[in-house]
Amino acid sequence: MSDSERETRRGVRVGVPAIVRGILKRLGADDVDERARSRGSQALFMLLNGGLSIGLLAAMAHLARSPLIFPSLGPTAFLLFFRPLAAASSPRHTVLGHLVGVVVGLFCLWVFGLLGVPANLSEGVGLARVGAAALSLGGTGALMVYFGVAHPPAGATTLIVSLGLMPHLWQAPVLMGAVCLMALQGLVINRLAGIPYPLWRPSKQRAEQAARLQAELDDSPPEPGA
């Protein structure tokens, strides 16, 4: 097995353990491998890093009085640290996937005459809102596939926009700023842990290896203690 395949297998099979292992090594901890395999260590890492990710954005949102946090950042953060070498986790897919979601969501609001109209879910969802939501999700999925920037959480982003939760044009750069900050944190944390996380575009060879190894893992029995 080549060095590239070993790195890919590590990132695919044990995304969180690999990051925890790398951080523990840098901290000079003992029994690094055993600690990294511990579900407690992995859960603690996700708790602290997830809290830090959203906490920083929430603090910045409070100071700037801007909506820098929105629900689809949660699954993006999980993906960046749980499957860091998957193509969908790369900065390119993360940033451009959400960008497609935002643009398509706003376009659908304009098409149905809802641009700038906030949601009022207490009165129900009208046909125009239904049309905007349906078209935005379908359009976002189609364009992500067409441009090769698939990022599943972006499907939630376009619904956030098209359902009227963030329906204003000025909110688009704020949303994308939050996405870029999240992608930057993913880059920093993964690189600090020794994971070969891409700077922008995922390596085609590594993405193919990741997909092949993940398919093998899905067909294999669970490891002892898993």
Which DSSP string do the residues of 109-148 spell out, in sequence order? HHHTT-TT----GGG---HHHHHHHHHHHHHHHHHHHHHT
Q: Is residue 225 part of a domain?
A: no
- Tell me how many domains the chain contains: 1
The position carrying tokens 């969180």 is 16
pLDDT of residue 158: 97
Q: Is residue 115 part of a domain?
A: yes
Q: Enter the pTM of the model.
A: 0.78
> How far, in Å, CA of 195 to CA of 223, rounded?
22
Q: Which residues contact 22 (CB under 8 A, 6 or more apart)?
A: 192, 193, 194, 195
Q: At what angle do helices 171-192 and 15-26 cross, to 10 degrees?
A: 60
Q: Is residue 15 part of a domain?
A: yes
User: pLDDT-derived band of residue 211, with 50, 70 and 90 as boundaries?
Assistant: low
Share above pLDDT 90 across residues of the chain, in percent, rounded to a whole number? 40
The type of residue at 124 is G
pLDDT of residue 217: 47
User: pLDDT-derived band of residue 144, with 50, 70 and 90 as boundaries?
Assistant: very high
Q: Is residue 72 part of a domain?
A: yes
In tens, the pLDDT along 47-89 reads 777 777 778 878 877 777 776 778 899 899 888 887 888 889 9
**Domain enclosing residue 61, as ranges:** 3-219
Q: Is residue 141 part of a domain?
A: yes
Q: Is residue 224 part of a domain?
A: no
Q: At what angle do helices 91-111 and 73-82 cross, to 10 degrees?
A: 160
